């Protein structure tokens, strides 16, 4: 796959601050359970810059997915919360934001071929004659252009997740919200998908919010790592990752800076309220 050279969307170049893509102010979420409601997120404040890759980390049950669903407009935050995408209040899924779900098998339509799955969001929005090229482009970005006529259930888990990613990319999103997308994949598949995601990010400059519980993965991919903690959860740490790009599975992970960040993130998660 050829990667077009674009300016790498790393940390903002000094003196040229980038626009804010995603903003949360005083955001709280209460979820109702049998026998009452419980506050999951409290007073969350965060900003994602345009083109930034931000990972959201935290222990399991810390509200990472809840936060992501709020950003994606799939979950309504509590009163007094402000959630914006490119300056517009988020009421329902905003235009230009696409969600990649953890459970890829349940998120693809088993009765549609791969190319029809990728077409799902385009149908009725993109002129019919443009469809094939949009689909091919998206499948090309995840290296699945040869599997267009197969069905999802004929593919491995890693491939299915790539199909879901392609379906999102076909929408040419400005924001990509990914909920532990590689959580249930084996280590090799995970590494190759991380590389692919990195390339997609370089090429498209999409803002990405990436929920994960894998520290190495977060450090490897991100420009910034937000750590949720507490109950109800809030953003406890905001860690900048200044590793050079493009990043390499071996070389990057051997850098002293990588190891330092890894330790730093680990300690931040391990020490509650730290």
Among 8, 11, 93, 157, the residue binding another protein under the rule CB under 8 A is 93
Given the complex with another protein, which of 13 and 106 has the nearer CB atom?
Answer: 106
Contact pattern from residue 244 through residue 263 relative to another protein, giving x for each residue in contact according to CB under 8 A and a dash for the rest:
--------------------
What lies within 8 Å, CB to CB, of 270 at 6+ separation is none
Q: Where are the beta strands (DSSP E) in the chain?
A: 20-33, 36-49, 53-57, 82-85, 88-89, 97-100, 175-179, 207-211, 224-229, 234-240
Beta strands at 53-57 and 224-229: parallel, antiparallel or unpaired = parallel
Question: Interaction with another protein in 162-201: which residues (CB under 8 A)?
Answer: 171
132 near another protein, rule: CB under 8 A: no
Given the complex with another protein, which of 45 and 89 has the nearer CB atom?
Answer: 89
Among 11, 50, 86, 107, the residue binding another protein under the rule CB under 8 A is 107
- For residue 175, the SS3 value is strand
Interface segment toward another protein; rule CB under 8 A; list 12-20, 27-35, 119-127, 197-205: 119-127
Range 229-251 burial, b when 16+ CB lie within 10 A, else e: bbebbbbbbebebebeeebeeee
139 near another protein, rule: CB under 8 A: no
The least CB distance from residue 89 to another protein, in Å, is 16
Q: How far apart are CA 64 and CA 45, in angstroms?
A: 14
Q: How far apart are CA 236 and CA 216, in angstroms?
A: 19
123 near another protein, rule: CB under 8 A: yes
Among 22, 83, 98, 166, the residue binding another protein under the rule CB under 8 A is 98
The least CB distance from residue 26 to another protein, in Å, is 25
Beta strands at 36-49 and 175-179: parallel, antiparallel or unpaired = unpaired
Q: How far apart are CA 89 and CA 102, in angstroms?
A: 25
Among 8, 43, 84, 103, the residue binding another protein under the rule CB under 8 A is 103
The least CB distance from residue 116 to another protein, in Å, is 10
Among 37, 111, 130, 260, the residue binding another protein under the rule CB under 8 A is 111
- Supply 203's token pair: 């090429």
- Supply 19's token pair: 């626009």
Given the complex with another protein, which of 101 and 220 has the nearer CB atom?
Answer: 101
Among 106, 187, 250, 270, the residue binding another protein under the rule CB under 8 A is 106
In whole angstroms, how far apart are CA 242 and each of 205, 207, 247? 17, 17, 11
Question: Interaction with another protein in 10-39: which residues (CB under 8 A)?
Answer: none
Among 17, 92, 127, 256, the residue binding another protein under the rule CB under 8 A is 92
In whole angstroms, how far apart are CA 188 and each of 15, 106, 133, 160, 192? 39, 22, 30, 15, 6
Interface segment toward another protein; rule CB under 8 A; list 23-31, 121-129, 193-201, 225-233: 121-129
Angle CA(267)–CA(69)–CA(231) in degrees, nearest 5? 45
* Binding residues for another protein (CB under 8 A): 72-74, 92-93, 95, 97-99, 101, 103, 106-107, 109-111, 120-121, 123-124, 151-153, 171
């Amino acid at each position: 796959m050829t990667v077009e050279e674009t300016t790498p969307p790393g940390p903002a170049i000094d003196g040229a601050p980038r626009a804010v893509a995603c903003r949360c102010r005083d955001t709280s979420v209460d979820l109702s359970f049998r026998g009452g409601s419980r506050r999951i997120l409290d007073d969350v404040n965060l900003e994602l810059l345009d083109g930034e890759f931000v990972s959201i980390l935290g222990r399991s049950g810390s509200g990472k997915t809840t936060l992501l669903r709020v950003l994606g407009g799939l979950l309504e935050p509590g009163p007094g919360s402000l959630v914006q995408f490119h300056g517009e209040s988020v009421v329902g899924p905003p235009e230009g934001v696409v969600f990649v779900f953890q459970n890829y098998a349940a998120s693809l339509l088993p009765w549609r071929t791969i190319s029809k799955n990728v077409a799902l969001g385009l149908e009725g929005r993109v002129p019919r004659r443009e469809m094939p090229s949009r689909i091919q482009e998206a499948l090309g970005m995840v290296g699945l252009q040869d599997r267009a006529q197969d069905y999802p259930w004929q593919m491995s888990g890693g491939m299915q997740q790539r199909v879901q990613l392609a379906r999102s990319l076909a929408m040419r999103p400005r924001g990509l919200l990914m909920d532990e997308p590689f959580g249930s994949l084996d280590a090799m598949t995970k590494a190759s998908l991380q590389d692919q995601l990195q390339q997609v990010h370089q090429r498209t400059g999409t803002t990405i919010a990436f929920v994960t519980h894998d520290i190495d993965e977060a450090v490897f991919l991100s420009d910034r790592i937000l750590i949720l903690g507490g109950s109800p959860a809030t953003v406890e740490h905001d860690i900048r990752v200044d590793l050079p790009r493009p990043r390499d599975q071996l070389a990057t992970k051997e850098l002293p800076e990588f190891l330092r960040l890894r330790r730093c993130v680990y300690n931040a998660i391990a020490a509650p309220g730290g």
